[in-house]
Amino acid sequence: MVRNIKLKISYDGTQYHGWQTQLNRATVQETIEQAICVVMKQKVNLTGSGRTDSGVHALGQVANFTADTNIPEEKIKIALNSILPNDIRVIDSVDIPIEFNSRFDAHDKTYMYQIYNDNVWSPFYSRYSYFVPVGLEIDKMVEAAKHLVGTHDFKGFMAAGSDVKTSIRTVYETKLIKENQLIKFYINGNGFLYNMVRIIAGTLIDIGKGTKSINCIEEAIINKDRTLLGQTAPAQGLFLMNVNYNDR
């Protein structure tokens, strides 16, 4: 019987060229597909909720595939984890209605960008944060991030060469918290443009440093102008935290 299997996946993206399969490059999607093929003894196509770039991590990526198999849903996770490398783990495996598509049915996603703010970078966070050794004005960063909330044309917040039908997105919530040396920026929305979260994170860092105006985010939304914003923060600080679905 053909079944639709939904996976929740966590991975360290350091050694991978992003999620999406690429020719002659190690990717998360291809690595998981190969493991599924071994377990299911058939070729499958894995659909992810969205792409993550080279070096970006995930705590709650969601993907699905269809396969003709009798393996119990809870055993699929165990079987895949016995084959997958240690930097990719399947957190959950469940049967889902055959029409479910992890990409097109996603309602919203949450990303987190992690900054290590101290005068010496911790070796334990070097793969999982952006090192900023100067003081940051957190209050200004929090205030600037408020301008992101709502439905806007985020054309100024995407990398050059992006190919999208529309750059209009809705941001539902932003949150910035400081835990000792770690600053964590969370953003939840219905979708994000290529490099959008990293551009926002880099801009907030520049605002915290005082090299960008606290109003630059609002001005970039109005003018759709990338040059008004700050740096694109590096990939290793970015995590896809979770993907939510309306009824699943």
DSSP 3-state assignment of 216?
A: helix
Q: CA-to-CA distance for 18 and 14, rounded, in angstroms?
A: 9
* Distance (Å) of CA 61 to CA 131, 132, 177, 243: 25, 27, 23, 7
Report the candidate in 52, 55, 57, 236 with the shortest Cα–Cα distance to residue 129.
Answer: 236
> Rg of the chain's alpha carbons, rounded to an integer?
19
Torsion of CA 192, 128, 5, 39, to 10 degrees: 140
Nearest CA to 195 out of 232, 161, 229 is that of: 232
Catalytic annotation on 53?
yes
Whole-number Å distance between alpha carbons of 51 and 18 = 7
Asked if residues 247 and 175 have their Cβ atoms less than 8 Å apart, the reply is: no
Concatenated DSSP letters of 21-43: -BTTB--HHHHHHHHHHHHHTS-
Please, what is the Cα angle at 177 between 246 and 171, to 5 degrees? Answer: 35
Q: Which of 53, 92, 139, 163 is catalytic?
A: 53
Closest by CA position to 11, among listed 52, 39, 40, 64: 52
Is 16 annotated among the ligand-binding residues?
Answer: no
DSSP, collapsed to helix, strand or coil, labels residue 179 as strand
Annotated binding residues for substrate, written as ranges, equal 111
- Supply the residues annotated as catalytic: 53
Binding site as annotated, residues: 111
